[in-house]
Amino acid sequence: MKRVLLIVGGGIAAYKSCELVRLLRKRGHAVRCVLTEGASHFVTPMTLAALSEDRVYTSLWDLKDEHEMGHIQLSREADLVVVAPATADLLARMAGGQAGDLATTVLLATDKPVLAAPAMNVRMWLHPATRRNVESLRTDGVRVMEPDEGAMACGEWGPGRLPEPPAIADAIEAMLNPTGRPLAGRHALVTAGPTHEPIDPVRYLANRSSGRQGFAIAGALAALGARVTLVAGPVALATPAGVDRVDVETAREMAVAAQAAMPADIAVMVAAVADWRVEERAQKTKKGETAPDLRLIENPDILASIAQSPTRPRLVIGFAAETERVVEHAVAKRVRKGADWIVANDVSGDVMGGEANAIHLVTDTGVEDWPRLPKQAVAARLADRIAAALGD
């Protein structure tokens, strides 16, 4: 059992701290909470006390605790200090080394690792002052997660949402158990999402890939200790914790970015790359009496080029999205592309853009049929298989 000191910052996302405490307790960790004055407007000490089964601390001026130097004890007794949500104000005070309340005093006094999960308005997150504060904290050794992107309580959209509690819990687990990361020292290349192939300045060829499965795999590999380079097509997803992201649009850009990421120990080619592109037109194609003739040009085969590269990764994994004879096509694709494994799935339903996947893992020893699972669970299971294969 590890001991986590959770500092809850003020902001609407403070309500998610309750779920985070529940998850950590379920995983067997002891949780002690420090509630800032702002956070107390969103969640009560009684709620956190009930969930953590421990006292909640709110004030630097509790005479009994301060007689015993309570803020020092709090900062030293934990194995990890977590700030969630970390508001723009709290990040600024952390970066400035302030100690005006219990939360910042504990943070300044601690000699333990610190993890911060930001939550704020998109403009606040993108403001140069916040960017400087985050960079300063990271330089000082604080692990600052990337916020999620999406709709906010203020009605705006963009990066700044608190990462979901399971993602924060996974990041906590990785920091608490750094030696239990079997992919530490390995470099993984992951591609994810669709590609957009321009027809003219306003139109493009694309597909319905959401990128969720590839992003989940990148996050799962990072959680096992890998250094992950994620080459992402045009999707609106938050970068998983601990992942280096390269954004591209077309198949040719993805091919260049994938080759630039080499050498790698692992390549997981999840992206739904467009097989063809169009001879792009400089001006918008006007609607006429007949449909325009589009000349299709074959795009580079990224999976095959990585599998045949002089710096070929030790494990090359491709994906096969099929609508019929799924396993048969996947078995043939593995041989044709030179991949070690093919992860095949039937996309005739709601898989592309959906939340779950039922896959078939094709290797040189046979085919494994996995049950339908949430994409995060598929990612975790695949990452474990990768770690086991490289361990062998």
Distance CA 45, CA 362 (A): 51
Using the 8-state DSSP alphabet, how is residue 179 labeled?
A: G
Q: How many CB atoms lie within 10 A of CB 366?
A: 8
154 flagged as catalytic: yes
Task: Return d(Cα 195, Cα 256) in angstroms, integer.
Answer: 13
* All residues at 6 or more sequence positions from 148 whose CB lies less than 8 Å from its CB, including other chains: 159, 161, 162, 163, 164, 167, 238
Measured CA to CA, the distance from residue 54 to residue 46 in angstroms comes to 10
Neighbours of 67 (CB within 10 A): 8
Question: Is the CB of residue 323 less than 8 Å from the CB of residue 346?
Answer: yes
Quote the tokens at residue 256.
């260049």
The H or E element spanning position 84 is strand 80-86
Only one residue has tokens 């002089």, namely 310
Q: How far apart are CA 85 and CA 33, in angstroms?
A: 12
List 50, 153, 154, 367, catalytic entry: 154
Residue 206 has which token pair? Answer: 């694309």
Cα 304 to Cα 161: distance, rounded to the nearest angstrom: 38
Q: Whole-angstrom Cα distance, residue 276 to residue 206?
A: 10
Q: In a 10 Å sphere around its CB, with 0-12 CB exposed, 13-18 middle and 19+ buried, how is residue 36 labelled?
A: buried
Q: Is the Cβ–Cβ distance between 120 and 92 less than 8 Å?
A: no
Give CA–CA dist 282/63, Å, rounded.
73
Whether cis (ω within 30° of 0) applies to the bond prior to 147 is no
Catalytic residues: 154
